[in-house]
Amino acid sequence: MIRLIALISFVFLLTNCRVQKPNTIITTDIPNFWEAYDKITSTQDSILQYSYLQDLYLQKGSEGLQAMMEVRNYTPKDYIHAINRYPNFWNSIRANTLKADTYSAELDRGIGKLKKLYPALKPAKIYFTIGALRSNGTLKGSLVLIGSELAMTDKNTNTSDFPTKEALARRMFFDTNPIEHLALLNVHEYIHTQQEEMVDHLLYQVLYEGIAEFVSTKAMGVPSASPAIEFGKENYEAVRDQFEKEMFYSVNQNNWLWSSQPNKFNIRDLGYSIGYQISEIHYNQAKDKKAAIKKLIELNYTEVHEIEAFINSTHFFTAPIDELRTAFENNRPTVIGIQQFKNNDLDVDSNLTEITFEFSEPLNGYHTGMDYGPIGEIGLPKIRARSWSKDAKSYTLTVELQPNKHYQLFIENNFRTTDVRPLKPFLINFKTKE
């Protein structure tokens, strides 16, 4: 009898262990937010509003909410401003966000499909948070962070509170019915938790994002929800050629990733399409599809030669990466000289009041960037004023110099042409005579 009871107890415990899977999808921040929201909107007293936000939402926040706030630099002020400024928006998304729990089973299935495609999948947690309108999805370490206020919108989401330009950009996004693609978004972000850390370089960034998008669509067996993917394929040569011109300069990031900033094609996130197509070519070329997926996910972005050899193997671009880089460098504007003295001069008159450096071609007459050189801040000349020439082929600094001193001024690549080609950096280096 004792053995029978023990056996029954063991079976009961074993059954419970199988049913009670680790809780990988956490939605507690959503009801907490709406409790705080109702209190905040019930008063005009700003002190009370901040108190309600802190006590009912932020203080109760999950690990995921704290991570989202850190990654997106959210402050209490951001939340209070968004809540007070966009009431129609918040009212229109409330019901959708409160459905988060109903998506758990679908998300679990999506992660299960990914596991079949990539058996080495490591566990990660998915947090449904509510942010202040700056991210529909991101991650920190092994945490997938969903900004439900954007990820769970649809064509019925109200944009009447937003300024005209912002409303148009958000309308385009909301009309794609993001909530219908929630599982795909989560799998995409989940893949990011498996990848090596991304390097701050536009080419590597588009590859990183494109891989996550491609693998998520293969795992889920559905097409990408991003209009950029289809547009990029349909306009392959035009998009590819434009990216080749811009990929070595980080200031162009907003033309390709994570921004609604206007670009030549008026399609946001076109960089995803670049990385997606490179991934797709690699996958289609491979005989062992699982090995191809494994390689995509496990690429090491700090290994430049490995990454560039991988990209070159797909023949996506018109030439190997090093040839494109050389062509880019040869096409950059340069500083061709200084009007008042020769660079590296050791006998400059300290009574000199202007330093004018000239460019190999006209720049845009707007963007600038200067810093101190290798000897540090002590070597910076005192600058009283600065101005462009009418033809934007030179830039003049009104300076105050001291005798017998070593000066350096680093001219950065934020100087650029009208077609956004960056200036080659240049170090102005000289000494004044006694």
Pairing of strands 125-129, 25-26: parallel
C-beta neighbour count of 34 within 10 angstroms? 16
Among 3.40.1000.10, 2.60.40.1220, 2.40.10.480, 1.10.540.10, name the CATH number for the domain at 335-431: 2.60.40.1220
- Strand runs labelled E in 57-196: 125-129, 137-140, 143-147
Tell which residue, 209, 316, 308, 313, has the closest CA to residue 253. Answer: 209
Distance between first and last Cα of the chain: 105
What are the pLDDT digits (tens) for 55-103? 999 999 999 999 999 999 999 999 999 999 999 999 999 999 999 988 8
Tell which residue, 268, 263, 176, has the closest CA to residue 225. Answer: 176
Q: What is the mean pLDDT of residues 163-168?
A: 90
What are the pLDDT digits (tens) for 406-429? 999 999 999 999 988 899 999 999
The amino acid at 95 = A
The domain ranges of the chain are 22-193, 195-331, 335-431
Euclidean distance between CA atoms 233 and 345, whole angstroms: 54
How many H-runs (helices) and E-runs (strands) does the chain carry?
Answer: 18, 11
Tell which residue, 404, 406, 392, 394, has the closest CA to residue 354. Answer: 394
Return left, alpha or beta for 306; rule: phi > 0 is left, psi -120 to 50 is alpha, else beta. Answer: alpha
What are the pLDDT digits (tens) for 348-395? 999 999 999 999 999 999 999 999 999 999 999 999 999 999 999 999
pLDDT over threshold 60, residue 40: yes
pLDDT over threshold 80, residue 252: no
Tell me what percent of the residues of the chain surpass a pLDDT of 90: 77
Euclidean distance between CA atoms 97 and 100, whole angstroms: 6
Helix (H) or strand (E) holding 409: strand 406-411
The amino acid at 343 = N
Euclidean distance between CA atoms 220 and 53, whole angstroms: 37
C-beta neighbour count of 129 within 10 angstroms? 29
